[in-house]
Amino acid sequence: MIFRTENLVAIGFVVLGPIIGGLIAGVDRILTARMQGRIGPPLLQPFYDLSKLFSKRIAPVNRLQVPFIVSHLIFVVLTGFLFFEGSDILLIIFVLTLAEVFLVLAAYSTGSPYAAIGAERELLLMTAYEPMIILTLVGLYQAAKSFNFYEILASTTPLILQLPGIYIGLLFILVMKLQKSPFDLATSHHAHQELVKGLTADMGGPVLGLVELAHWYESVYLYAIVFLFFSSSMLAACIGLVATFFFVILIDNVTARVKWQAALASAWIITLVAGAGNLVPFYLITRGH
């Protein structure tokens, strides 16, 4: 078997993903604290939290919880692995959806009413962001004529200039995917309260640690998708990523949680106006090429 660079990157993601994801979470918490006029926790706080969670002794609430959460983690890691391995990103989106479904199943299995409402809200959020994810991929394909991460990466024209509307739509659903306010209605991140703990209510100790780990992996490849939009130059990529990261945290700190109706309606309106509004003219222009 020939070992390609893509395989190395994919294995690198599996190994280094938690470290990068944990650091992203650490910077996130410090930035959030500074925005609120606080000093905030140390940079390595997410790692302290994770090691604490894995040292806790707690019996799972039922027999299904652990298999569901482990499946969630496996499919999240698999999504990232396939993504960086250069597989078809259309497939990846469905693997990611499967991962989310396992998390929702784990929440339903606990029997906690808070987890059940959290699971329902998570399903509604999935309904809200899924169309935009597909539009993003279609947009990337239309610009780079490929569903492969590395071929899109190699495209010479900056995708952000061709797909500004798609980028705005992606930014919008990024807030949902990262469980940030105003769309943190299913569960709120960093142990803050929402419906006790919503989706992750009744998940304690190592089980919650696995959910957290999956979330770190997820944030890494979500930012990798953002990276694709700026990939034409390294400087643009750095500025684009930092600006996106900062914007998501700013939005998290300046907005109040919305009801699910508002989340669903606004996401679909943005998808239709910014996403489709960008894609349809772009398709008509590039159709002949």
Partner 1 sequence: MGGVERSIWIVHYDASSCNGCDIEVLACLTPVYDAERFGCIVTGDPKQADLLLVTGGVNNRNVEVLKSIYGQMPEPRAVVAIGACAYSGGVFSECYNVCGGVATAIPVDVYVPGCAAKPESILDGVLRAAAILKERRVALRSAPRNAKKGSTEEGARR
Site for partner 1, rule CB under 8 A:
29, 33, 36-42, 45, 48-49, 51-52, 55-59, 61, 111, 190-194, 196-197, 200-205, 208
Nearest-approach distance from CB 213 to partner 1, in angstroms: 15
Which of 138, 250 has the CB closer to partner 1?
250
Query: Whose Cβ is closer to partner 1: residue 46's or residue 169's?
Result: 46
Q: How many alpha carbons fall within 13 Å on the CB side of residue 160?
A: 17
CB of 50 to partner 1, least distance (A): 8
Q: Which residues share a beta bridge with 88?
A: 148
- Distance of alpha carbon 215 from alpha carbon 177, whole angstroms: 9
Minimal distance, residue 25 CB to partner 1, in Å: 13
Cα torsion 177, 178, 180, 185 to 10°: value is: 50
CB of 42 to partner 1, least distance (A): 8
Query: Would you say 32 or 136 has its CB closer to partner 1?
Result: 32
In whole angstroms, the minimum distance from the beta carbon of 53 to partner 1 comes to 8
Nearer to partner 1, 136 or 179 (CB): 179
Q: Contact at 8 Å (CB) between 149 and 79? A: no
Q: Which residue in 212, 166, 208 sits closest to 28, CA to CA?
A: 212
Residue closer to partner 1, measured from CB, 28 or 85: 28
Local structure of residue 111 (DSSP, 8 states): -
Nearest to 175 by CA among 102, 226, 239, 230: 226
Specify the residue, 200 or 244, whose C-beta has the smaller distance to partner 1: 200
- Least distance (Å) from partner 1 to the CB of residue 185? 15
Task: Kindly state the tokens that stand for 27.
Answer: 């910077």
What is the C-alpha separation between 25 and 51, in angstroms, rounded? Answer: 15
Residue 60 or 131 having the CB closest to partner 1: 60
Instruction: With beta carbons less than 8 A apart as the criterion, state whether 144 and 216 touch.
Output: no
**What's the min distance (Å) between Cβ of 184 and partner 1?**
13
Residues 6+ apart with CB under 8 A from 208: 53, 200
Q: Rounded to the nearest whole angstrom, what is the least distance from the CB of residue 34 to partner 1 in the complex?
A: 10
Dig out the tokens for 287 from the structure: 């159709």
Comparing C-alpha atoms, which of 40, 154, 32, 140 is closest to residue 90?
A: 140
CB closer to partner 1, 140 vs 185: 185
Instruction: Give the C-alpha separation, 179 to 35, whole Å.
Output: 18
